[in-house]
Each structure stands twice: as C-alpha cells, then as structure tokens.
Homo-oligomer: A and B are copies of this chain.
Amino acid sequence: MSKCEQCIIREFNSLKTLTKDELIRITGCKTSKTVKKGEVLFDEGEYINGVFCIKDGVCKVSKMSDNGRDQIIHLIQKGDILGERSLINNEASNLKAIAVNDMEVCFIPKDEIIRDLENNPNFSLDLLRKMANSLKKADDVIVDMAQKTVKQRLATTLLFLEAKFEKNDNGSIKVNLSREDIANIIGTATESAIRLLSEFKKKKMIDLKGKEVFILDVKALKDLSEGF
C-alpha cells in the first residue's frame, strides 16, 4: 500500500492541508484500485461514502437530463478529488463518473474525511475556497451555455481542453474523448459537433487524426469563442 504522506498527488488538492499524522492515518484506511476505460466509478443516486483521489487517468462526470441525454459537467484528472460534495451534504451523488481511459484512484472512507473536516480548519477552509472557485466556474459555464452558440461553445471547449490537459508527443491533446463526448460537453447533437469539428479543420483552426485533436490556431478559436 502506497503511503499518502509520500504521495505527491495530494499537493494538487485540498489534501495538502492535512498534517503528517492525519495522512498516516489515512494511509491506513484508504484503498487503491485501477478503473478500466469505460467503467463506472459511481452512478447517479449512489451513495459514494468517501472521496476519490485521482492518481492517474481521466474520467467524465455527467448528469442525465430530463430529455434523456447525458450532459458532461466535469472532466476530472490526475490530482483532482471527486465526491467531496456528496460527502459534505450527506446525500446520494447527483452525478455519474465514467473512466475515459484507464485510471488509478485512491478511495478514502467518509468518516476519515469528516474527522479531518471537523478537526483541521485549514482543510475545511481550503475546501471552502475550492468550492467558492468551483461556483465561480459554474457561473461561467451557465452563462456560456445560455448565451453562446454551439459553434462558440465548441471553440470554448477546445480551448478548455487545450489548457487543462497535457499534450501527446505529437502535440495532440492528451484526452481520449469520442465525438459523442465532445457533443455532450457542449450540449449539442453528435452530428452537429462532428460537422463543426470538420468546419474548424477546414478553416485550419484545428487538425483531426482519428480521435486526436490538434489545436492549430488558438487566437482564431479565442475570437470565435468570444463572439468576434
């Protein structure tokens, strides 16, 4: 069992505020596992009973709309934690998480996190800050969804992917999304997403090789995203 107090991943999330003793305690109760591409980490309505700390890989976090279509709300990757909200308000998850590629995750049981929340003000304040920040980002997403065209949202999303994920050796964005996934991020029909991707490619803003996406012209995408 790898040791939390030696794990560099925690530096990227709120667990960095935990003391050495707290981390040692968590090492003793956490579990590690691998999640294969396509597997479900948790589903809507499920009680998660803890938080996931993502050591490697990417997962998509989505919610089913009344119309029966999945909307991807977050992409979670190495260094992120997952499930803290359901833990805090003590409810079943309102979201579903599916691995986009093979993942390595640690799972920390609920009670341990609650204990730290109550005893370590640095931890709860850091979480509070993270949440305030998430809310701010959610505001931006709401405004984009409500006001931007599908084309603008695709440009916005491509820039987001470019900024959030590493590059492969050939320069493509290191995240393995299907066309349907992309459509479910921007909230449109798969066909529309495909058409617009082709259009962007034709206009030399991006290049496509199978699932690989190369961002060629950040400025053009940015202008488009902002409505020019």
From A120-128, A168-176, A203-211, the one touching the partner chain is A120-128
Does A39 lie at the interface of the complex (its beta carbon under 8 Å from any beta carbon of B)?
no
A219 at the interface (CB under 8 A from B): no
Question: Which residues 108-137 of A sit at the B interface, judged by CB distance below 8 A?
Answer: 117-118, 121, 124-125, 127-129, 131-136
Q: Interface readout for A188-209 with B: 1 if CB under 8 Å, 0 if not?
A: 0000000000000000000000
Q: Contact check, B95 vs A147: say whether CB atoms are below 8 A apart.
A: no
A43 to chain B, nearest CB (A): 15
Q: Which residues of B contact A131 (CB under 8 A)?
A: 128, 131-132, 135
Q: Give how many A residues have a beta carbon under 8 Å from the other chain's beta carbons.
A: 47
A46, chain B: closest CB distance, angstroms: 15
How many monomers of this chain does the complex have? 2
User: A133 contacts which chain B residues (CB < 8 A)?
Assistant: 89
- Stretch from A1-9, A21-29, A48-56, A67-75 forming part of the interface with B: A67-75
Given A118-B125, A124-B128, A132-B89; A67-B227 close (CB under 8 Å) = yes
* A225 / chain B contacts, CB cutoff of 8 Å: 66
Q: Does A166 sit at the interface, judged by CB under 8 A?
A: no
- Contacting pair B121 A65 (CB below 8 A): no
CB of A218 closer than 8 Å to a CB of B: no
Complex-state Cα separation, A133 to B146, whole angstroms: 21
| A residues whose Cβ falls under 8 Å from a Cβ of B | 63, 65-69, 71, 73, 84-86, 88-89, 91, 94-95, 117-118, 121, 124-125, 127-129, 131-136, 138-148, 152, 186-187, 225-227
